[in-house]
Amino acid sequence: MAETGRLTAPAAAGGWAALPLSRRVLLLRVFIIAGLVVIWEAVAASGLLFRDVVPSLVTVGQALVNILTVADYKANIFGTEIMIPEFFRHLWVTAYEVLTAMLIGGLAGLTVGLALGSNPFLSGAFERFLYYLGPTPKIIFFPLMIMWFGVGPGSKIAMGTLSCFFPVVLSAAAGVRQIDKVLIRVGRSFRVNTWQMVTKIYLPAMREPIVNGVRLGLGVAVIGTLLAETKLSNQGLGYLIINAYTIFEMPRMYALLILLFGVSIAANALVGRASRAK
Amino acid sequence: MAAQSHGGNRFIWQQAVPVLFGIACLFAVVVLLEILIRFGFINRFIVPTPLDIVGSFGRIIVDEHVGSRFLLTFGEALGATALLTVFGISFGVLLHRVRLIRLATETWIAAVASAPLVLMYPLFLVIFGRSALTIIMMGFVSALPPVILKTLEGLSSTRPVLINVGRSFKLTPSQLYWKILFPAALPTIFVGVRLGMIFALINIVGVEFLINFGGLGQLVNELSERYDLPGTYAAICFVILVSVVFFIVTERIEKWLRPGA
């Protein structure tokens, strides 16, 4: 018996150590997730918090399935009326607002960034204002956006635009300054015009900083748009979340937050992958 | 000497002219706005004149108790920063010490950093109620990932020669941490704490505005709901001023900690 014990203990210890690193990482991840699920369910069952504040994960899962499968909205897609889950209508509204904001804010940021980065005088005159305005909390401008653009999607697009403009402009300006001077001299020696300089030299040479700026801009545009929707709106994912809170449908709120985080992380990863693609 | 002085003057001139031009342009925009609003080209019920905004500064400072509101927001930011520093750095150190945990969770933390965590504020409202604790916890949670990741980066990028020197002196693991790794990583850790502080301040003012509770964020919300336009604009200017000063002060501290950066 003693012999058996002596042989088993090192074998068990060596068992974990002998596993490949990737397998151990995977197992640890499974343990962490399982641990979190157990803690969550224990808190849900304990009654330590008010009832329904921490609902069972089964209820959250059911809410998630309901949100994605219950077709309760009649949508007109290319002239055909079909029933879809209402979540997708709100997702479309938010996506439209964020993409429009990215288009306006991104293009404006890129143009201003190119001008500042390629002209030291303009950079010295205006870049410090943008640099210091960048980290201010943009949501405080929302009352002004409502006054200027109304309570509809316009004010949410404006919030997203304002949020994403700053990271894009600062990244673009820094990107222009880090371009190899040889490339610029080659362009000048070929007597290319300004448009050709921008499209043939600047933009290809500063792809990485631009994508990084867009990535940062996308993150803050999503936050700006969604926060504006939670404050004053009747459509969009932000509205859905604050509405679930208002009527105290906690499983639905958790499910919506999970979906929102999933979509945001996927969008960010997609832009990140685009930056690494050759 | 004369040539050096001439070069110095030219350097100051090259630096000063763009700055003065920028300030002059800003001033010109303000004057142009004043004229356009006064002559009715811009509706004064949507954009008040800059002079009205300047005039309402005194009113919001005295009547709206900007000083105490500022202290409240500052206190919340300080509370969030204290939590960030303790938990963010501790978790970063843990990830550095235990490679397996790092490999298992680093990508998760990076993914969480890209998620709009501030949207969890309704959840925090349910758990902590409509109180300063909700605002502090929101600031803390949304600013935690950069502190963890920067702590990890700082500890991982310590020069191997420094660690080898420590080992040659037969330092214990604890001594190696406190005498070599931590001091070497401190500048990068501070970058993370600074980023965290900025994120926390942004989220704290944002949540104050959204839940209409607390300091400066609530002030903007209240004034806009009262349709006090000059007051709203003045309060926004005040929040911008506070965040710019906060940003400059933390930037100076960072430069002091990282003189070569």
**Model confidence pLDDT, tens digit, residues A59-113:** 999 999 999 998 888 888 888 888 889 999 999 999 999 999 999 999 999 999 9
For residue A119, is it within any domain? yes
B217/chain A closest Cα distance in angstroms: 7
Q: What percent of chain A has pLDDT over 90?
A: 38
Has residue B211 got a pLDDT over 60? yes
**A269 or B41: which leads in pLDDT:** B41
Rounded to the nearest angstrom, the gap between the alpha carbon of residue A70 and the centroid of all alpha carbons in its chain is: 26
CB pairs under 8 A between A and B: 138
Dihedral, CA of residue B27, residue B33, residue B34 and residue B39, to nearest 10: 150
Q: Does B125 touch chain A (CB under 8 A)?
A: yes
Are A96 and A183 within one domain? Answer: yes
Q: Does B62 touch chain A (CB under 8 A)?
A: no
Are A151 and A206 within one domain? Answer: yes
Domain that holds residue A41: 2-46
Say whether pTM exceeds 0.90: no
Has residue A4 got a pLDDT over 50? no
Tell me the pLDDT tens digit for each residue of B57-93.
888 888 888 889 989 998 999 999 999 999 999 999 9
Dihedral sign computed on CA atoms, order A269, A271, A275, A278: positive
Q: Does A161 touch chain B (CB under 8 A)?
A: no
CATH number at residue A230: 1.10.3720.10
**At CA B41, angle to CA B35 and CA B42, rounded to 5?**
90
- B15 and A128 within 8 Å at the Cβ level: the answer is no
Has residue A53 got a pLDDT over 70? yes
Q: Which residues in chain A touch residue B206, judged by CB atoms under 8 angstroms apart?
A: 137, 139-140, 227
Chain B interface mutation, best of A29, A127, A140, highest count of B Cβ atoms under 10 Å: A140
DSSP character at residue A50? P
Q: Does B140 touch chain A (CB under 8 A)?
A: no
Q: How far apart are the first and last CA of chain A?
A: 62
Query: A190: burial class by Cβ within 10 Å (0-12, 13-18, 19+)?
Result: exposed
Are A140 and A8 within one domain? Answer: no
DSSP 3-state of B261? coil
Query: B245: burial class by Cβ within 10 Å (0-12, 13-18, 19+)?
Result: exposed
Q: To the nearest 5 percent, what fractions of chain B are helix, strand and coil?
A: 85, 0, 15
Dihedral, CA of residue B16, residue B19, residue B22 and residue B28, to nearest 10: -60
Dihedral sign computed on CA atoms, order B29, B31, B37, B39: negative
When the pLDDT of each residue in chain B is averaged and rounded to a whole number, the result is 87
Closest CA to B50 of B237, B240, B244: B237
What would be the CATH architecture of the domain defined by B59-257? Orthogonal Bundle (1.10)
Domain boundaries, chain B: 2-47, 59-257
Q: Per-residue confidence at B6, pLDDT binned at 50, 70, 90?
A: low
When the pLDDT of each residue in chain A is averaged and rounded to a whole number, the result is 86
Q: Which residues in chain B touch residue A249, judged by CB atoms under 8 angstroms apart?
A: none
Block residue for tokens 């007109």: A76
Residue A213, pLDDT score: 85
Q: Does A160 touch chain B (CB under 8 A)?
A: no
Q: Which residues in chain A touch residue B202, judged by CB atoms under 8 angstroms apart?
A: 135-137
For residue A235, is it within any domain? yes
Residue B1, pLDDT score: 52
A47 torsion bin: left (phi>0), alpha (psi -120 to 50), beta (else): left
Query: How high is the ipTM of this complex?
Result: 0.83
- CB within 8 A of A246, min separation 6: which ones? none
On whether the CB atoms of residues B73 and B205 are closer than 8 A, the answer is: yes
Q: Per-residue confidence at A272, pLDDT binned at 50, 70, 90?
A: confident
DSSP character at residue B115? S
Rounded to the nearest angstrom, the gap between the alpha carbon of residue B122 and the centroid of all alpha carbons in its chain is: 23
Distance between CA atoms of A35 and A40, rounded to whole angstroms? 9
Q: Which residues face A74 on adjacent strands?
A: A83
Residue A215, pLDDT score: 83
Q: Does B122 touch chain A (CB under 8 A)?
A: yes
Distance between CA atoms of B220 and B228, rounded to whole angstroms? 10
Are A193 and A255 within one domain? Answer: yes
Tell me the pLDDT tens digit for each residue of B99-139.
899 998 888 888 888 788 888 888 888 888 888 999 999 99
Rounded to the nearest angstrom, the gap between the alpha carbon of residue A74 and the centroid of all alpha carbons in its chain is: 28
Q: Which residues in chain A touch residue B121, judged by CB atoms under 8 angstroms apart?
A: 230
Q: Does B126 touch chain A (CB under 8 A)?
A: yes
- CB within 8 A of A95, min separation 6: which ones? none
For residue A74, is it within any domain? no
Q: How far apart are the first and last CA of chain B?
A: 31
Task: Taking residues A130-146, report their average pLDDT.
Answer: 89
Residue A211, pLDDT score: 83
Residue A192, pLDDT score: 87
Closest CA to B182 of B84, B89, B82: B89
Task: Taking residues A111-134, report their average pLDDT.
Answer: 89
**B31 or B17: which leads in pLDDT:** B31
Tell me the pLDDT tens digit for each residue of B173-197.
888 888 888 888 888 888 888 888 8
Distance between CA atoms of A143 and A228, rounded to whole angstroms? 10
Task: Taking residues B26-38, report their average pLDDT.
Answer: 94
Q: Which residues in chain B touch residue A253, judged by CB atoms under 8 angstroms apart?
A: 122-123
In our burial notation (b when 16+ CB lie closer than 10 A, e otherwise), range B217-226 reads: bbbbbbbbee
For residue A246, is it within any domain? yes
Has residue A3 got a pLDDT over 60? no
- B122 and A230 within 8 Å at the Cβ level: the answer is yes
DSSP 3-state of A242? helix
Residue A19, pLDDT score: 81
Q: Does B193 touch chain A (CB under 8 A)?
A: no
Are A237 and A129 within one domain? Answer: yes
A81/chain B closest Cα distance in angstroms: 33
Are A138 and A231 within one domain? Answer: yes
Dihedrals φ, ψ of B49, to 5°? -70, 150
Has residue B50 got a pLDDT over 90? yes
Domain count, chain A: 2
Provide the chain A residues 23-52 that lie in CB contact (below 8 A) with chain B: 24-25, 28-29, 32, 49-50
Provide the chain B residues 81-100 that lie in CB contact (below 8 A) with chain A: 100
For residue A161, is it within any domain? yes
Residues written for chain B: 261
Distance between CA atoms of A220 and A37, rounded to whole angstroms? 30
Chain B interface mutation, best of A54, A126, A136, A250, highest count of B Cβ atoms under 10 Å: A136
Q: To the nearest 5 percent, what fractions of chain A are helix, strand and coil?
A: 80, 5, 15
- A53 and B126 within 8 Å at the Cβ level: the answer is yes
- B119 and A238 within 8 Å at the Cβ level: the answer is yes
